[in-house]
Structures are given as structure tokens and as C-alpha cells.
Structure 1
Amino acid sequence: MDFEALVKHISTMQSTLQAQAAHAVNLALTARNWLMDCYIVEFEQNGEDRAAYGEQLLKKLEQRLNVKGLNERSGLSKNKEALSALVQRQAMPLQPKDIINTPVTLEFLGLNDRALVTENDLEQSILDNLQHFLLEMGHGFCFEARQKRILIDGDYFFADLVFYHRILKCHVIVELKIDKFRHEYASQLNLYLNYFKAEVMQPDDNPPVGILLCTEKGDTLVKYATAGLDPNIFVQKYMIELPTEEEIKKFISTANY
């Protein structure tokens, strides 16, 4: 082993183990915050002394638990303070996959299966609760446009939601679907990303990222449908209700480190 090989081995080991550690931390944070949400909701609905706390519940919990900035939404899946500190230290370059929460839980929209009649219904509900949605998506998202009009060969296309990520320095296009993932959805999002790279991206921008939100997804279908497309396409499942305790256990047991 020469010096260059030593550097390569250590660099590969470091990046691999950092990614595994980050995944383990995010998994634990997801489970913690899901359970925290469930416990708080249960207390608000059935707690014998809930009336004594009222709107001051989170503040009083923060004081008793000595947890700064306690929120039912702001900690989900990502440790915002740790992420910010990591970026400031430039300990390692942030990748698009690092800024996307998994899964996306949209129970704050107050919707149910019957309410999701069209994609416009979902889009409007998100915009009505934009602050909560930005917290759920993760750190650094800035809203830019709704139904962004794209003209190609005389035909108009419309990207559902467009954000700019101030840390990654790139556009993030979010497509909303009210059914399970289908292969044509990935092709549609790939079209938008290619358009943004050619027509919208500035010289100092990084390539755009596409996030497709569906009610269900099959990992194998996603793998085959996105193979050969833009690597910055991410297919995510969203939920309109908080998971049950059994679903949390299943999520933890099936997660890949």
C-alpha cells in the first residue's frame, strides 16, 4: 500500500461510516419525534389535567425536559441544529439526499383519504399550511413558485411546487401525486429537471433536485423507473396521519443502515 492508496482507503472508510452514522441518527430522531407527537396528541385528547396547561403545553414541556425549541414538527427526521453546525464547519459536503426527510408526514393538513380528491386539493392544503410543510420538508427550503409554467415546443407543462434550497444552492421541484408511484411520474419530473438545468439554473447554482411525493411506492419499480434518469430525483412516500406504534416499530425494523 502506497501513500495515495492509504489516503483513498481512509477517505472511502470515512465517508461510508459518516453516512451510516447519519442514517442511524436520523432513524432514531424520526422514531423519537413520531412517538413524541403521538404522546402529545394522546395527552391533548385524553389527559386528565390537560386543561391546566392549554396552549402553554409545549413551553411547559420544554422547561421540564430542558429541550430548547421543542415542537411537534421541527425535529422530524433531521436534527436542524446539528445540520446547521455541520454546514458551518464544512465537515463534509452536503448532498441532496441529506436534506430530504424520510418519510414525509402531512397530518397537520387535517386531511383524510376522502379529502384527497385531486392533486390541486393537496397542493392548496399545503400552501394553506406552508410554514408547517417547510418544517416537515427539512432545513433550508425557500418557497418560490406554485404551478411553475414551462413552455416546450409550444406545449405548456406545470411544475407543482418550486423551492430554492439556500444551503445546497439549487432549485427543488416538488411534484404531488394522490396515488401510488407510477413510472411515468419519474419521466415527467426528469423533464422538469432538464428544463431547469438548461433554462433556469444560474452559473453559480448547483443542479436542481426533484422530489416526487406519492401515497405509496414500490422500491423495485422506483429503482427500475429512475435508472438512467437524473440522479437527483427522489421518490418519497407521504402520510396524512401520524403512524401507529406498530408502524413505527416496522419502520425501525425494516430500515437499512
Structure 2
Amino acid sequence: MKDQETIAVIKEKLTNKSFSQEWLETIKQDERKGVKQLLNRYYKEKEKEAELHAQFIRMSEFETGLYQEGYRLIAGVDEVGRGPLAGPVVTAAVILPHDFYLPGINDSKALSQLKREEFYEIIMDQAISVSLGQANANEIDYYNIYQATKIAMQRSVEGLNEQPDYLLLDAMRLEQIKIPQESIIKGDSKSISIAAASIIAKVERDRIMKEIGAEYPMYQFESNVGYGTKAHLEALKKYGVTTHHRRSFQPVRQYT
């Protein structure tokens, strides 16, 4: 092949997708090992992009159906932190714009911390409205974790600066809020709005636990986010219960 482009130039074109179909067909004939590797990587990335696009379309089905019914402001609502021994339960309500597109969005537990942080910034930048709610350890002990979660969810919905006309919730119903709503089992992996709320709530709660961890370094809250790890349980036994511990939860209860 005469006047072959350098592998660096080919890599740049494939990375930036700045090429014609004719150019791509020509490159396919290039016998250099480095070019073949670049093409293989390019097609794998295209396949992954197609998979993420298809996943996003599937996760948009609830929202798409509601838009077709005439609903315009759909809020996804989710919680993080029902299981830990310490810290608040944190909820988020998120209203996404109709043209929102974020391939790869999913349940926050399915994402790496780096990806959650990246998606958090995108959601916060593009969402029509985002609101947080929480219930602290005292409220969890007083009401029980299920009811406290509902209270936190209600707070997040009421804090939105746009009134939603429909709610999509992850496995919960808010009877006190007179807005049409649907409870979806494992909704954070089935609805982009709930997934967005899951990501916001997770990032915010992790930040809260990092702050609490700085106040009580012996419990390592910044890494265990309140769950009963070995180090956490040993610290609980040695230092006792903090104001952030849920005294109605075992094994915290035995140290109160």
C-alpha cells in the first residue's frame, strides 16, 4: 500500500471517528499487525456501544410509555442505606429531560465508584430537578427502617423545584403523596429515572459517611459506609455506640 498512514494517525481517526466508510474499507486491507489490533479494538468498542444503547432503550420503556400517555415530569425515586448499622438512609428524586441520553446508566451498585461520580455530575448538570431526602439514625430507630425510608423518600419528592406529575419508585409506594405512581421491583435496573436517583443517593450518602468517618475515624465509616465489617464491629465493641449508630439494629443494640 502506497503512502500508508502511520499507525498513530489511524489510531487518532478511529478514536475520534473522523473518517469515511471508504477510508475504513481501505484500512481493512492494511496488513500491519498494529492496524489489525486497532481495528479489532474499534469493532469491540462499537459492539459495546450498541449493547449500552440497547440497554438504555430498554430502561427507558417506563418513561417512554408515560410520555405517550401525556405525562411530562416523571420523577424517579430511590434510596440508599437501608442495611447499614450506622448513618442515615438517603433518598433522591430526579426528573430527567425527555431527551436525556446516558448509555451505561444503571443501578448504582452495578457501577464503579469512578463511573458513579462521572454519571453523578452528568445527571446533576442535565436533570430538570434533583432533590435529596434523608432520615437519620434516631428517626430510623423511632419509626423502623421501612417507614423511615418512606419519610425520606417523601422529603425528596417534596423538595423538587418542579412538581412531578408521575413517580417511579424502586419497590416502594408513597401513600401520603397524592401523585400517580408506580412501584417497580428492582426499578434501579429497569428505569433510567430510578437509576439516576440511585446514583445521586449513593454518591451523596458516601460523602456523608466520609464526613462522619472523619469525626469517628476508629469506625472506618469512610470505607464501610456504616456496614458491619469486622473492623467496624471490633470498634463498636471497643468504643461503644455513636450518635450515628442505629440502636434498634443488632448487634448495635447489645452495646447500648
Q: Normalized against structure 1, the TM-score is what?
A: 0.27
Larger radius of gyration: 2
Choose between structure 1 and 2: higher strand proportion.
1
Q: Normalized against structure 2, the TM-score is what?
A: 0.27
Greater relative CO (CA pairs within 8 A, separation 6+): 2
